[in-house]
């Protein structure tokens, strides 16, 4: 099997601007963006952030200004217009090449998709989390899997690339929930996915339920299911551009530091168990092969070719 890289070559320099919880109509049961990204940045701070990043980075990569950490397309109209104007100005001055945002699926419609396209957006990331309606209710997301399917369709029809973000290992998630997500993600055909194994953040509703033993969380299952989603995407030719949250702001993680490599190793072991014996992999994945071999679940006779 030929794998597509976690970080494909030619990827843009993504400059993240966090709008921390702005636009969110409520708090999802697992979310604390302040813990992950701090207080966020108002529109007039954006040009300074962009210049700082460009100063740190070298090379000819295209630059993408990205609004993360809230519900960008649900911002109040005036605030949304201010961010869009800042983005358009930076594009007109050729400081950035395109824009990107993450948002809730139920805040996309054909009009919003067209507005994003005409404002210079190239990519929209949707917080799908899961395609199991049962689990979406548990997460208190306030939208359905059908909202995600419709949002993907609207964005693609507007000419935008779509990245779907998935969470694995949410407390009391079942293998059936994950199978539903795998089938639905293949059918939706996003341009790429991100996988975030569940992180119990202090102060969230779900963390309180875990502390009261009202729910169960198993980090090993979260890794195993991340491997399932990663494999389903790989087999459908859909690249995974990230596995795991950035470490900044997270005090205690239940996962190994090399989480992405461990998830890929798990995926390789699963494929080997199914009888796969030829692996064509990005060279950067050598460590995952070593991890899989060390676990004793990667056959010695497997042919591994690094690209």
Query: Which spans of this chain sit near ligand SF4 (rule: CB under 6 A)?
Result: 21, 24, 27-28, 31, 33, 70-71, 104, 127
- In the complex, what is the shortest distance from the CB of residue 28 to ligand SF4, in angstroms, rounded to a whole number? 3
Residue 254, token pair as written in the block = 């239940």
- Beta bridge mates, 304: 279
Looking at beta carbons only, is 13 or 164 nearer to ligand SF4?
164
- In the complex, what is the shortest distance from the CB of residue 54 to ligand SF4, in angstroms, rounded to a whole number? 26
Looking at beta carbons only, is 4 or 27 nearer to ligand SF4?
27
Looking at beta carbons only, is 127 or 282 nearer to ligand SF4?
127
Looking at beta carbons only, is 167 or 238 nearer to ligand SF4?
167
Residue 65, token pair as written in the block = 């200004």
Q: Are strands 161-168 and 192-197 parallel, antiparallel or unpaired?
A: parallel
- In the complex, what is the shortest distance from the CB of residue 155 to ligand SF4, in angstroms, rounded to a whole number? 17
Closest CA to 21 of 102, 99, 88: 102
Total residue length of the chain: 307
Residue 125, token pair as written in the block = 């990331």
- In the complex, what is the shortest distance from the CB of residue 152 to ligand SF4, in angstroms, rounded to a whole number? 17
Residue 32, token pair as written in the block = 């604390």
Looking at beta carbons only, is 107 or 261 nearer to ligand SF4?
107
Contact (Cβ atoms closer than 8 angstroms) between residue 100 and residue 111: no
H helices of the chain, in order, are 33-37, 46-56, 77-92, 110-118, 133-138, 145-157, 175-188, 205-211, 219-235, 259-273, 286-294
Looking at beta carbons only, is 36 or 185 nearer to ligand SF4?
36
What sign does the dihedral 199-205-211-216 (CA atoms) show? negative
């Amino acid at each position: 099997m030929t794998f597509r890289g976690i970080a494909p070559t030619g990827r843009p320099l993504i400059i993240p601007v966090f709008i921390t919880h702005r636009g969110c109509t409520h708090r999802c049961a697992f979310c604390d963006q302040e813990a992950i990204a701090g207080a966020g940045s108002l529109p007039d701070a954006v040009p300074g952030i962009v210049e700082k990043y460009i100063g740190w980075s070298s090379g000819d990569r295209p630059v993408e200004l990205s609004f993360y950490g809230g519900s960008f397309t649900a911002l109040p109209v005036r605030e949304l217009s201010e961010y869009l104007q800042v983005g358009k100005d930076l594009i007109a001055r050729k400081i950035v090449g395109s824009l990107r945002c993450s948002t809730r699926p139920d805040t996309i419609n054909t009009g919003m998709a067209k507005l994003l396209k005409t404002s210079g957006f190239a990519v929209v990331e949707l917080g799908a989390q899961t395609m199991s309606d049962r689990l979406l209710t548990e997460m208190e997301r306030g939208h359905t899997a059908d909202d995600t399917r419709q949002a993907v369709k609207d964005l693609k029809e507007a000419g935008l690339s779509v990245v779907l973000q998935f969470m694995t290992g949410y407390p009391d998630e079942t293998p059936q929930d994950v199978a539903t997500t795998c089938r639905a993600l293949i059918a939706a055909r996003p341009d790429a996915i991100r996988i975030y194994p569940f992180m119990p953040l202090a102060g969230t509703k779900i963390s309180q339920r875990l502390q009261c033993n009202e729910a169960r969380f198993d980090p090993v299952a979260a890794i195993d299911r991340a491997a399932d989603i990663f494999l389903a995407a790989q087999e459908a030719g859909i690249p995974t551009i990230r596995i795991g949250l950035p470490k900044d702001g997270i005090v205690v993680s239940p996962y190994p530091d090399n989480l992405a490599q461990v998830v890929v190793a798990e995926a390789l072991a699963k494929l080997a168990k199914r009888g796969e014996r030829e692996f064509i992999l990005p060279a950067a994945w050598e460590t995952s092969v070593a991890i899989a071999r060390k676990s004793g679940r990667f056959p010695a006779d497997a042919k591994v070719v690094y690209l």
